[in-house]
Every structure is written in structure tokens, then in C-alpha cells.
Amino acid sequence: MTWRKDRSFAVIGLGTFGSTVASELARFGNHVLGIDIDERNVARLADDIAEAIIADGSDEDALREAGVGACDVAVVAIGEDLEANVLCTMNVKLLGVPTVWVKATSRTHHRILTKLGVDRVIQAEREVGQHIAQMLYNPLVRDYVSLGNGFHIIDLRVPEELDQTSIGELKLGEKFEVRCLGLMRESDYIPCSGADTLLETDDKLLLLGRRENLRSLGDSLRFA
């Protein structure tokens, strides 16, 4: 789908996860339609998004009447009721929403949603758990993003032991098959254009590579 700044989003299920997605999308300036069967969830978000409607996500007619079919993206965030989640997903697809993301609660649920042809299945608890475990395992890793196919970008804090060490001395490509995309020094971005670029304590190295290679690099710095 071609990205447009003025896309409209329907978020169905306004629990903790759904309401967070909806309010953040609205904060970015998007038109957000929020739907939940629970009046309290709708009322809580009514002032934060463009439209907040009480409706049953498993009812195709209710979603059609709410205007979900006119949205560019739908996020099905119904988490506790598996049947309602799947029915809502089917309804959103039937209404012709171009892009559909759905929250899953288990591997079986994930497989069902994949068969329905959704664009992305979100396993929020698992993804957050993996994220936290990675950062707990290696405190030098501030953050990371999965790019798929085994590749990740990580934000690695430069420890004091590497202060005034050059990028070239790390031998990122030779030893670890990892590529440096650049580094952040406070609010300044510095490209890794030369091997003689010197690191300073607490710089943030932005590194691209396969998960196992990035882990090897992180371990070598962590246990140095």
C-alpha cells in the first residue's frame, strides 16, 4: 500500500493495547475511528480520537454502519474473546479494508489469522517479552528493531572501555559480519563513513546484522 499522510485508521477493541494504538495514531495527526462493545472503554477515549463508537466488532452490519469499510487500515485489538477476534477480522476483510493488522493471543490463533490473509499478526506480549529479555541479557543494548529474515538493527551503548576506540578497531565486518549505520552522540548523528571515527563513552552505535552475529558482538563487549 502506498503511504499517505492522511490515512484513516479503525481500531476495534479499546482495551489497554487498542486504546494505546488509537491514541498514539491520533497524536500523530491521523483520523482514528475507535470501536468497542464496552461503553466505558469508548468513553475513556472519546476526547482523544476523531470518532469513538459503541459497537460489536463481530457484527458485520455494525462495522459497516460505523464506517469501517471506508478506512485505509484496521487494527483488530480484541484480545480476550478468540471467536469475536476472528469474526471481527473476517468482517473487516469482507468490508474491503486494504490493510488489516490483528492482535493474536496464541500460536494457534496466529495460524488462524495467517490463513485469513491479514497483513500482520501482532503478538504483543511475546514481542515485548523478547524485547525486554534482550535488554536484560545485555544492558549495552538500548533498543532493537527486527527487519525480518533474521536481520535486526540494534542501538548499542558504547561502554567506557571503548572510549576513544576507532570504528575500524572493532573490525565489525571482519569479525562479526555486522555493519555500522552510524552513531548518535547526544542529539547529533555521526555517519560511520570512515574507519578512523572515534567512539566516546555512551555513544549509541546503530548496527545492522543477523541476530546471532549481533549477539556475538554484544557478548564480546559485555564480557570484555
Tens-digit pLDDT profile for residues 61-82: 999 999 999 999 999 999 878 9
State the pairing for strand pair 8-12/31-36: parallel
Inter-residue contact 180 to 205 (CB < 8 Å):
yes
Lowest-confidence segment of 20-24, 94-98, 126-130 by average pLDDT:
126-130
Q: Could you report the per-residue pLDDT of 157-202, keeping only the tens digit for each?
A: 888 888 999 988 988 888 999 999 999 998 899 888 778 888 999 9
Distance CA 1, CA 21 (A): 20
| Residue 58 phi, psi (nearest 5) | -85, 0
CA angle (199 as vertex; 196, 202 as ends), nearest 5: 170
pLDDT at 2: 45
CA angle (54 as vertex; 53, 57 as ends), nearest 5: 100
Q: Sorting pLDDT into bands at 50, 70 and 90, what band is 138?
A: low
C-alpha distances in Å from residue 39, one per residue of 33, 36, 48, 90: 15, 7, 15, 23
Q: Does 126 score more than 80 pLDDT?
A: no
The pLDDT of 29-53, averaged and rounded, is: 95
* Strand, helix or coil for residue 81: coil
pLDDT at 192: 83
Q: Does 100 score more than 60 pLDDT?
A: yes
Q: Which residues pair with 157 in a beta bridge?
A: 204
pLDDT at 3: 47
Q: Sorting pLDDT into bands at 50, 70 and 90, what band is 5?
A: low
Q: Does 133 score more than 80 pLDDT?
A: no
Inter-residue contact 69 to 95 (CB < 8 Å):
yes
For the chain, the straight-line distance linking the first and the last C-alpha, in angstroms and rounded, comes to: 46
Question: Which residue has better confidence, 45 or 7?
Answer: 45
What's the distance, CA 126 to chain centroid? 12
pLDDT at 8: 94
The pTM assigned to this predicted structure is 0.69
Q: Please compute Rg for the chain using Cα positions.
A: 22
State the pairing for strand pair 120-122/179-185: unpaired
